[in-house]
Amino acid sequence: MVAYIDRVLESIYQYAPLAQRTVVLVPSSFTSHVESLSKVLKFPSDQLSYTLAMFFTFPIGLIMLMLPHGKIKHTFSFISGVFILQAAIGGQWIHQLISSLVVYGIFLVMPPRLSKVVVPLFSMLYLSLGHIHRLYTSYLGGGIDFTVPQLVLTVKMYSLAYNIYDGQLIADGKEDAAAKKCKHVSVKNVPGILEYLGYTFNFSTVLAGPAFEYKIYAAVCDGSLFNSVDGKPIGKKPSNVWPTIKPFFISILCLVAYTYGTKTFPLLDPSDKQKNTPVIITEEFLSNPWLYRYFYTWVAIFTVRLKFYYAWYNAEASCNVWYGGFEGFDTDGEPKGWGNSSNVDAIGFETAPNIKKSTAAWNKKVARWLNRYVYIRTGGSLFATYSVSAFWHGFYPGYYFLFLSIPLLTFCERLGRKKLTPRFDDGNQWNLYRVLCTFVTSFAWGYLTIPFMLLAYSWSMDAWKSHFFSVHILCVVCCIILWSIPLPKVKSV
């Protein structure tokens, strides 16, 4: 079997030089300069390429801002997105082009009732093959390949399939409950090829998201977000300076803190992260008191989170340069805000008093995708939702340990919200009950996300074992206790 797989991979790899020849927007000298710089900075070259590509989006965003509305914006969005991908992952960008065009072909030849099934299946299968290839060729390797931007692309194509399907249901007057909830992002017809590629390859979102809906992107590019049908401004366009500068500086702070934090509190062995035993489960580390071990692990995981905060705040700033994050105007012509580009609320996540609020603050556009196109389409199944989330992330056991544990915590949390919150929460933001809930939530995330970082089965189990499987056991015990507590009496008015 192994020999057969190797032969298949060899037959695919023979096209790698052809794919590399498609890198026409980035000079070959860029790669050599990046490799030289990575040696000086002692920073992996693939991560450095990705980081530099994200910074390139800002001058590109300024050009996008100055272009007239219409097809020229879509064309520029597509071409500049190709440039960003080629700078970040080289010839592997071809995967985004192939999968995007296949999906567009499906939209053209299949009716929406079929494409809303086939497109999610195809996009998830394509992504999954990439995950499997990575597992097979570089198990536990931390390098960046095409699967990283493919995650974002999958969300976009998956969502658009349902947008078109919902649009047809609404047009035919046959909308179901899900279509009604998603009516504001539904699409009447399949977008033109330029509009579609401009969306899927949008330079600000192609690397790290946010994977906002097609309708949001299109409204900015065609000008309908700012002007009425007769061409008159809906309201006074707000300045984009502060909405750009603020997340940009936050992203820089997060990048610096991540760089130094991971060196001070490493989770994995810095000498060989792929093969050596992670720091937090070595015999030397396990000889420390449990409280020290847990606090160290919590801090180490927090520093890793800073990498995600950097990427998402950077992308938010990049989107806001050309008003991609602007939400438009209310009925009085007043600006709504910049929530379309917001993919994370770092303070909201770190201080969340429960799992529900913390998940809503983390990777918000993916959470919205899961809610709109999995949760409400499966009758509110948490198991289905978190299974798709784990499947989307990949096939490392650590992902499944995390995502399939969350329903247990959510069930426990719902019981607590019904039976304890009415008794102890007086409504003040920082009362003792809410502070305790925030502490418990943070404690739980520190434990739950260990497998997400370590990935491997044995490493994840050893790490959880070192913490006595505490959160899982406490959840079961709390559920039993809360189940036996009667509901509080409703106060009569």
* Cβ proximity of 95 and 130 under 8 Å: yes
Residue 492, pLDDT > 70, answer no
- Is a pLDDT exceeding 50 seen at residue 141? yes
pLDDT > 50? residue 416: yes
**Contact indicator for 299, 184 with CB cutoff of 8 Å:** no
Quote the mean pLDDT of the chain.
93
Q: Is the pTM of this model over 0.85?
A: yes
Tell me what the mean pLDDT of segment 94-102 comes to: 98
pLDDT, mean of residues 4-20: 87
Model confidence at 44, pLDDT cuts 50, 70, 90, reads: confident
Q: What is the pLDDT of residue 493?
A: 46
| pLDDT tens per residue across span 374-384 | 999 999 888 88
Task: Using the CB atoms, write b or e for 88-127: b if 16+ within 10 Å.
Answer: bbbbbbbbbbebbeebbebbeeeebeebbeebbebbbebb
110 and 190 Cβ atoms separated by less than 8 Å:
no
- Residue (of 394, 202, 216) closest to 315 by Cα position: 202
d(CA 226, CA 335): 10
Whether the Cβ atoms of residue 318 and residue 61 lie closer than 8 Å to each other: yes
Helix (H) or strand (E) holding 254: helix 241-264
Would the pLDDT of 63 be above 90?
yes
| Model confidence pLDDT, tens digit, residues 206-242 | 999 999 999 999 999 999 999 998 889 999 999 999 9
pLDDT at 229: 85
Residue whose entry in the numeric block shows the structure tokens 């201080």: 351
User: Is residue 73's pLDDT more than 90?
Assistant: yes
List, for residues 256-278, the tens digit of each pLDDT value: 999 999 999 999 999 999 999 99
What is the structure's pLDDT at 491?
Answer: 59
Over 60: is that where the pLDDT of 49 sits? yes
Residue 2 has pLDDT above 80, yes or no: no
The Cα 360–Cα 465 span in angstroms is 29
Residue 489 has pLDDT above 80, yes or no: no
Q: How confident is the model at residue 79 (pLDDT cuts 50, 70, 90)?
A: very high
Percentage of residues of the chain with pLDDT beyond 90: 81
Task: Indicate whether 25 pLDDT > 90.
Answer: yes
Q: Which runs of consecutive H residues, i.e. helices, occur in 394-469?
A: 397-403, 406-419, 421-424, 432-448, 450-454, 457-466
pLDDT score, position 124: 96
**pLDDT value at 147 more than 70:** yes
Residue 59, pLDDT above cutoff 90 = yes
> What confidence score (pLDDT) does residue 5 get?
81
Cβ neighbours, 10 Å, residue 412: 23
Mean pLDDT calculated for residue range 422-429: 83
For residue 423, give every residue at least 6 positions away whose Cβ sits within 8 Å of its Cβ, in sequence order, or none: 488
